Amino acid sequence: MSHYTWHNVTESSRVTTKHAFATLSFIAETFLFLYVGMDALDIEKWKFASDSPGKSIGISSILLGLVLVGRAAFVFPLSFLSNLTKKTELEKISWRQQIVIWWAGLMRGAVSIALAYNKFTRSGHTQLHGNAIMITSTITVVLFSTMLFGILTKPLIRFLLPASSNGAASDPASPKSLHSPLLTSQLGSDLEAPLPIVRPSSLRMLITKPTHTIHYYWRKFDDALMRPMFGGRGFVPYSPGSPTDPNVLVE
């Protein structure tokens, strides 16, 4: 939708659409966090686990270790295979980048808890000691990984990838880059504020200059058939003065 429809609507529709979907996303995310938090206070399961705290801690440690090993078993071998297909060092995934990819995917969340409840409970309840320990151990891993790994992700990126942590500006023609508020005043300082200098993101460069076979042929198909029919960047006239107007970006 953002690839085609985004370029066919008015500027006000773009702003409204962006904020509407951002609001729905925020509500859904908030609901998931509340759901996980309510599961973490499931007193019935914790009473079973309190009878053998050593076993609960041991299972939680084993689960967390399996998460670390399982994530590494996917990230590093696949990155190695991907690097074999790259011709230059700039295109390859460095060890530091691989560590960030590995670390950033360690957080467990609502899906893990939902799977645990689906496997070890019936209608959310269980009277089996082992099943209750598995539930509480999963909750422990989710809370621990979310809090610890999530908090340390940004400092880790700053330490391992100081150049990229500064943050490149996003694509001005994409929905995520439209930072104007939902209701804005068009008077006074709003019109006088200088526009930021926008640097094309890697995604925009990839779309403009495809380098690999599959993406190259997809772009040919997209340019020849899809975008002329459904609209898209380069096939829909720019609105004068809009954030997607190239004349505004140049100025």
In a domain, 135, yes or no: yes
Q: Is 231 left (phi over 0), alpha (psi -120 to 50) or beta?
A: left
In a domain, 51, yes or no: yes
Both tokens of 237, joined, read 């006239």
Residues 6 or more apart whose CB falls under 8 angstroms from that of 93 comprise 79, 82, 83, 101
Model confidence at 236, in pLDDT bands (50, 70, 90)?
low
- Amino acid letter, 202: S
In a domain, 216, yes or no: no
The string of DSSP codes covering the chain is: -TTTGGGGS-HHHHHHHHHHHHHHHHHHHHHHHHHHHHHHT-HHHHHHHHT-HHHHHHHHHHHHHHHHHHHHHHHHHHHHHHHHT-SSTTTS--HHHHHHHHHHT----HHHHHHHHHHH-BTTB---HHHHHHHHHHHHHHHHIIIIIHHHHHHHHHHH-TTGGG-PPPPTTSGGG----SS---STHHHHSPPPPP---HHHHHHHS--SHHHHHHHHHIIIIIHHHH--TTTSPPPTTSTT-HHHHH-
Q: Is residue 112 within 8 Å of 35, Cβ to Cβ?
A: no
Q: Is residue 181 within 8 Å of 142, Cβ to Cβ?
A: no
The per-residue pLDDT for range 4-15, each reduced to its tens digit, is 777 778 888 888
Say how many domains are in the chain: 1
In a domain, 196, yes or no: no
pLDDT score of 249 more than 70 = no
Give the residue numbers spanning the domain of 153: 42-160
The per-residue pLDDT for range 199-235, each reduced to its tens digit, is 445 555 555 555 566 777 888 888 888 888 887 766 6
In a domain, 249, yes or no: no
In a domain, 203, yes or no: no
Q: For the chain, what's the residue count? A: 251
Q: Is residue 139 within 8 Å of 46, Cβ to Cβ?
A: no
- Amino acid letter, 33: F
Q: Is the pTM of this model over 0.75?
A: no
Model confidence at 242, in pLDDT bands (50, 70, 90)?
low
The per-residue pLDDT for range 4-58, each reduced to its tens digit, is 777 778 888 888 988 999 999 999 988 888 877 777 777 777 877 777 788 888 9
pLDDT score of 66 more than 90 = yes
Average pLDDT over residues 141-150: 88
